[in-house]
Each structure stands twice: as C-alpha cells, then as structure tokens.
Amino acid sequence: MAKMIHSMVRVLDEARSIEFYQKAFGLSVAERLDFDTFTLIYLSNDESEFELELTVNKGRADAYNPGDGYGHLAVSVSDLDSEHQRFTDLGLNPGKIIDFNRDGALLARFFFATDPDGYKIEVLQRHGRYK
C-alpha cells in the first residue's frame, strides 16, 4: 500500500517561506539539498511524518502563479480558536473561522491562511475525519 510522504510547492524566497511555515505551523528544516539550479528544503515537525518540500529554483525573479488547479494543503489543530488568535497576533492575516455544517451537524470548523507565495493552507479543528 502506498504511504503519502510529502507535498511540494515552489517558492521564491527560501528564508521568507521557512519563517512563515515555522511561525504558522511549527515546521523546521529536516533536510536541505542544494543543487546547481535549485534547492530542496524538507520541512517537518513531531506531529506527523508527512513533510512539506519547498523547491527554490535559483535565478527565478518572478512570483509563481498557483493557477486554478491548485487547491490547498490542510493541517489539523486541537484548538482552532487559539490558533486563529495566534495567527492574528503574528500578523499572518488568517481568514475568518467558518463553521461548515452538513445535514444540520457540524462537519468541520476551519480557517484559511496564505503563505508568502500565495498558497492556501486550511487549518481545521480536529473533529470527525479531520484528525
């Protein structure tokens, strides 16, 4: 059976992206692999083995366009309200908290954050299938 191990996003500014993901999600550099034309940075934390791979293409000056095919990454937290306040206090400009109901029952509580390159990250309250 396949095991998901990482997702990759292309970023323009390595330091800015690492700072964002560290502040927002407590991710730190697990490994950094430097090549002639690009650098791969794997970010992780103790909550999961799943990693986020940042790819920095050297010499690129123009911002990436996530396009209309990109959806979002998702993380779960134990206290959504506290995380939303923490994001606000850090100046990370989270979206509003949304209570998403289906058939009269709470399906999910979440907000979205946007990284420095425009990628959306959904922050979900641990509940139901969103553990």
Distances 96 to 89, 124, 129 between C-alpha atoms, Å: 14, 12, 21
H or E segment at 129? none
Catalytic residue among 31, 53, 83, 122: 122
Query: Dihedrals φ, ψ of 39, to 5°?
Result: -130, 140
Residue 47 annotated among the catalytic residues of the structure? no
Amino acid at 71: G
Residue 83 and residue 120: Cα distance in Å, rounded?
16
Residue positions annotated with a catalytic role: 122
